[in-house]
Amino acid sequence: MVNSNYTAESFDSIVQLLLEKYKDWDGKAQFTDTPRRLAELYNEFCWSPEKIEEELNKHTRLFEDGYDEALSTSEIDVKTLCPHHLLPCTFKVTIKYKPNQKVLGLSKFTRIAVILGKHPVMQETYTRELADTLFERIKPYMVEVKVKGTHGCVQYRGALQNVEIETKVSRGSCDEKPLIVYSGEAKL
């Protein structure tokens, strides 16, 4: 599932530039595979739009069920990158939806949430993209996406704080009914 667009060679000059001021680090064993590890990291976090679309298409099959009560996921862990600094962000995603007689497999919510984080993305954009993707592809009566995020750019530079940012987007409408809560782990 990982793109292989980046290679160790594509990161070699960046690593050399970063280590240039630390002459005593040159040639140390712990930096030998750093370009390869960076390539693997960015291949994991930075999928192409085509790869994201391909994976979304695999995980949005609906089942006729007649079910139309509200359903909510618990917090789904999503790891992504901030587009401003390319530093890690961690999102806790909660999805609430009311199906329109057709249901999505429960594990698919987790997969879709993770897939949409596979590119550098602002939390506000991610929240809107996830709500819009679910609303357009599964056509429920309503969908609500809440994202709590911690951001490396806030933790390690600038504000230097470990704050949690919350965003929320709703599409459609729903009367309040009892929820079924699903707790799941991402297994791609």
pLDDT digits (tens, 9 = 90+) for 124-180: 999 999 999 999 999 999 999 999 999 998 888 888 888 899 999 999 986 544 444
- Is there a contact between 153 and 82 (Cβ–Cβ < 8 Å)? yes
pLDDT given for residue 182 in this prediction: 45
Which sign does the torsion angle of CA 23, 28, 33, 38 carry?
negative
pLDDT per residue as tens digits for the range 2-30: 445 888 888 888 888 887 777 777 677 78
Specify burial of residue 51 (Cβ count, 10 A radius: 0-12, 13-18, 19+).
middle
Name the β-bridge partners of 149.
Answer: 91, 165
**Mean pLDDT, residues 64-75 taken together:** 90
**Mean pLDDT, residues 77-89 taken together:** 93
pLDDT given for residue 158 in this prediction: 82
pLDDT given for residue 178 in this prediction: 40
- Is there a contact between 80 and 116 (Cβ–Cβ < 8 Å)? no
Name the pLDDT band for 77 (thresholds 50, 70, 90). Answer: very high
pLDDT given for residue 129 in this prediction: 98
Name the pLDDT band for 1 (thresholds 50, 70, 90). Answer: very low
Please give the Cα distance from 40 to 83 (Å, whole number).
18
Please tell me the pTM assigned to this model: 0.84
**Mean pLDDT, residues 70-81 taken together:** 94
Domain 62-182 has CATH 3.30.1130.10: yes
Q: CATH 3.30.1130.10 region(s) of the chain?
A: 62-182
